Amino acid sequence: MYKCSLERMSDKIKTFSKFGDAGHGGITRYSLSPAAHQARQEFVKRMEAIGAKIECDDVACMYATIEGSDPNAKRIVMGSHCDSVKNGGNYDGIEGVMTGMEVLETVVAENIPHKHPLTAMIWTNEEGSLYPPAMMVSGIICYDYLPDYLKPNFVYENMMKSTPMDESEFATFGDALAATKFKGSKENRISPEKYCAMFETHLEQGPILEDAGNEVGAVQLVMGMFNYRVRFHGFTAHAGTFPMAKRHDALYAASAFLCEMHKRFDELNATMSQEFVYTTGEIYVHPCIHTCIPDEAEFSLDVRHPEPEVLDKAMAILKELAAKDWCQCTCDIEEQWKRDAVPFDKRLVGFVEESMEELGLKWQKILSGAGHDAQFCAYMIPTTMIFSRTKDGLSHCEPEHVSDEDCTAAASATLNAVLKCDASDEF
């Protein structure tokens, strides 16, 4: 078993945390922003220092590759993103990029024999915080392999027209891309012709590993989900003059619905071994005036679980409730988007589990509730993920933290899993 260097990993964490440093512990590093360019430049500097060949594709993904002993073997890639959300943390995305770099640095420093070329990769615009949607570029690159219901969300021409959600010197994502020196050629894109496996190492972004006392997780799949808008229609009138019994208060209807839905979902959850999760994070009220009875109320509903049958049951509850009368208001529901669960490649998951076990790490099988580039890549080539323990389960915020030791443990697990993949006849 080989181990990555704690010292080298700590140095990378410290260095990359400077790019987009917001001054209070976290970063804001939008895709293709000056801060992201600094991170990309650092990637180039460190990878050229070990003799890796740097390539960029037409959507500014970056690849640093060291050759293997077999000239006909396809590449094994380790990648994640270097962009963050606004006021995000120092680990989401970049941990997976640093892992790829650390694996290559370890292989070179210790002269570890390998057949396949090994590549460290940066995926462009995963968060979509400045230019939506999230996972934009993996959606573009893996487009031909996506299920049909996802394709309309990632049409290349539409993605290029994406406009910034925050301050930017560019009018569209396409303009930002045209201006970056990291835009290369389409033939450099990750593809099944050139690549045989993808590993994405990422912080868990939840408390499951920490609560179980485990350092790392072998990710089995990305959960399926659906996202709906639930709308209530009543009528507005004066808050002081209109009698309660005659009101059709859309907000009161929405709140009654929400409480009943949670009760029903909680009952369903209690019958299952694998927990499912349901969230209303956004609410809209009209006219939103304190002296007016609301005539329109609308909320979001995000439901996630690995099994389609459970999502079907949750959907049946949603539809049953929507057909009822709520405080004399009508209700309609509209699907925003959905995705099926995406299982990872069983052979790669096996390599990850064996590596964690053989390294003597505290590990467990785990599922991903969040979306990642790996989930789109999994439609295209064999893919898997490794999770590392996240302090207090916090992510997408400045206190987000993974210890240097846990980052190094996840990198060592990745390194040995990659070497098992390299030695396997199946890749």
| Residue whose CB is less far from Zn ion, 93 or 139 | 93
Shortest Å, Cβ 216 to Zn ion: 16
* Rounded CA Rg of the chain: 23
CA 125, distance to chain mean position in Å, is: 11
- Backbone φ, ψ for residue 77 (5° rounding): -120, 145
Given the rule CB under 5 A, which of 31-39, 93-101, 187-195, 394-402 is the region that contacts Zn ion? 93-101
Alpha helices in 142-249 (DSSP H): 156-160, 173-179, 208-212
Cα dist from 374 to 204, 228, 251, 301, 317, whole Å: 14, 24, 39, 24, 31
| Residue whose CB is less far from Zn ion, 68 or 93 | 93
| Residue whose CB is less far from Zn ion, 93 or 117 | 93
Residues that contact Zn ion, how many (by CB under 5 A): 2
| Residue whose CB is less far from Zn ion, 92 or 400 | 92
Tell me which residues in 236-295 interact with Zn ion (CB under 5 A).
none
Shortest Å, Cβ 427 to Zn ion: 25
Between CA 47 and CA 49 the distance in angstroms is: 5
Given the rule CB under 5 A, which of 33-41, 70-78, 92-100, 216-224 is the region that contacts Zn ion? 92-100
Q: Is 20 in the site for Zn ion (CB under 5 A)?
A: no
| Residue whose CB is less far from Zn ion, 128 or 164 | 128
Cβ count within 10 A of residue 169: 10
Residue 343 class from Cβ within 10 Å (0-12 exposed, 13-18 middle, 19+ buried)?
A: middle
Shortest Å, Cβ 372 to Zn ion: 6
Shortest Å, Cβ 402 to Zn ion: 12
Q: Is 92 in the site for Zn ion (CB under 5 A)?
A: yes
Shortest Å, Cβ 92 to Zn ion: 4
Q: Is 93 in the site for Zn ion (CB under 5 A)?
A: yes
Shortest Å, Cβ 17 to Zn ion: 16
| Residue whose CB is less far from Zn ion, 93 or 382 | 93
Q: Is 234 in the site for Zn ion (CB under 5 A)?
A: no
Q: Is 89 in the site for Zn ion (CB under 5 A)?
A: no
**Residue 133 CA neighbour count, 13 Å, CB half:** 18
> Minimal CA–CA distance to 11: which of 57, 37, 49?
49
Buried b / exposed e across 78-100, counting CB within 10 Å, b at 16+?
Answer: bbbbbbbbbebbbbbbbbbbbbb
Shortest Å, Cβ 91 to Zn ion: 9
Residue with tokens 């993808």: 198
* Both tokens assigned to 66: 């060291």
| Residue whose CB is less far from Zn ion, 135 or 150 | 135
Between CA 44 and CA 37 the distance in angstroms is: 10
Given the rule CB under 5 A, which of 86-94, 104-112, 177-185, 325-333 is the region that contacts Zn ion? 86-94
| Residue whose CB is less far from Zn ion, 92 or 298 | 92
Which residues contact Zn ion (rule: CB under 5 A)?
92-93
